[in-house]
Structure 1
Amino acid sequence: MKHFKFWHKCFVFTVFFSSSLAANAGTFEDFFSAAKLDNESVMVGLTLRGFDLNTVDPRGDSALLIAVREGSRKVALFLLEQPSVKVEARNPKGESPLMLAALKGDLDMARRLIQRKAEVNKPGWTALHYAASNTTQASQEMVRLLLEHHAYIDAESPNRTTPLMMAAHYGHPAVVKLLLEEGADPLLRNEQGLTAIDFARRGERQESADLIAAFVRRKRPTGTW
């Protein structure tokens, strides 16, 4: 009889533990699905149940980062209202929610993240690098916003690429012009020895290359004869 009770308890514990694992797995999947699909009601329900809102998925992405990346606005705004949510939680690539908002050109989201003390400056790739890579003219406003919040204009990535270089190769010529006017140094070189004008030429961005070349010419001191 004692053996029966023992095995019965083991069976009950195993069933309970297995059910708990299945429930937790379902909760985990629901959490990240809600972040991707902008399902605010599911996110609110999980929050009320005490789910850790800073949990990361197998790739190391937080729910806030996913929501910003996927354009899940309702979920992103809800998460930003939760004091426990870490707005600076970065994925293994070093990307933060602010960086992705900057890349997407989501000005309102960037403002809200900055209000929550998201870091505008950090070592390595920065939000300004990402903003400068946006191909639309609207990226000017994002760049201005970041500069207003003291983004370092000549921030260097791990290979010493600057925001101006990114704008020259990928971004809009208006952003190249703005960065130059705000003091970006067009003569800096990355680890490969390339300047911003080299980036523009490699990206076949003739307008940006011309803007940089004209700026450099204006800044050269005129000789006296």
Structure 2
Amino acid sequence: MKSWLAGLTLSAALLTQAAPIDDLVKAAEMDDGRTVLGLLLKGVDPNQHDARGRRAIFVAVHEGSQRALDSLLASPLTRVDEANAEGETPLMIAAIRGALPAVQALVKRGAAVNRAGWTPLHYACSGPDNGVAAFLIAQGAELNARSENGTTPLMMAARYGNSDLVPLLIKAGAEPRAANEQELTAADFAQRGERDKLAAELRRLMKERQRAADAANSAK
């Protein structure tokens, strides 16, 4: 009888420690870093999905819940590079939102700056930026990374990014002559985005780079 009661008491204690994942995700959504930390200390797995199929780290990034994100990243159990159903990592989501503090925190925690296919830099160049692209480049982001269809960050910046991104990428060494699988260059992307002036400047750079390359080859 005593052993049975002891087992029952232990089971009850474990149940009180194992708070549901729904509470953790809700705390992340509300940017309640203290509750997030408390639930993690009680044994909640931060990588589980809640009843709506959401993971806490993605919710924190999407909602701009920096305090909650910091608490999640403080746990060694939180997997920072596990992608969602669309193949996006938390760093990619933070990058496209221009959430520099979140990007910095994720990279500090070990999130991969480079990956096969679409990268955080591609995503940064598609959003408001807020210094995210420059930070990722400083962290070693591949300037001429290719998505599955050959798209580069420069192409995304040319069509979707803010006005500072293309000069930033070019200065850092991005290749304006690169083309994707549809034979579209960054200049073509700019043209499709009705950024005619930028398209003209990119075409000028392409010709300039090609002349320099031809001259270098002739000198060999």
Partner of 2:49: 56
Partner of 1:11: none
Distance 1:112 1:178 in 2: 23
Q: Does 1:82 align with 2:75?
A: yes
Q: Does 1:200 align with 2:193?
A: no
Partner of 1:216: 206
Partner of 2:123: 130
Partner of 1:162: 152
Deviations for 1:139-187, whole angstroms, at most 9, x for unmatched residues? Answer: xx22121111111111111111110110011002320111112221112
Alpha-carbon contact 1:173-1:207 (below 8 Å) kept: no
Distance 2:93 2:188 in 1: 26
- CA apart distance, 1:57: 4.1
Distance 1:39 1:165 in 2: 38
Deviations for 1:19-39, whole angstroms, at most 9, x for unmatched residues? Answer: x8xxx8x82322222222212
Distance 1:131 1:214 in 2: 25
Alpha-carbon contact 2:60-2:66 (below 8 Å) kept: yes
Distance 1:111 1:29 in 2: 27
Partner of 1:144: 134
Q: Does 1:116 align with 2:116?
A: no
- CA apart distance, 1:210: 2.8
Partner of 1:8: none
Alpha-carbon contact 1:61-1:90 (below 8 Å) kept: no
Q: Does 1:95 align with 2:95?
A: no
1:208 aligned counterpart, secondary structure: helix
Unaligned ranges ≥5, structure 2: 1-14, 216-220
Distance 2:89 2:180 in 1: 23
Alpha-carbon contact 2:37-2:72 (below 8 Å) kept: no
TM-score scaled by structure 2?
0.81
Distance 2:56 2:85 in 1: 14
Cα RMSD of the aligned pairs, angstroms, is 2.5
Distance 2:205 2:52 in 1: 43
Distance 1:143 1:60 in 2: 30
- CA apart distance, 1:58: 6.3
Between 107-116 and 52-61, the greater mean CA deviation after superposition? 52-61
Residues 126 and 218 (structure 1 numbering): CA distance in 2 closer, same or farther, change over 3 Å? same
Distance 2:120 2:51 in 1: 24
Alpha-carbon contact 2:98-2:128 (below 8 Å) kept: no
1:215 aligned counterpart, secondary structure: helix
Distance 2:167 2:182 in 1: 24
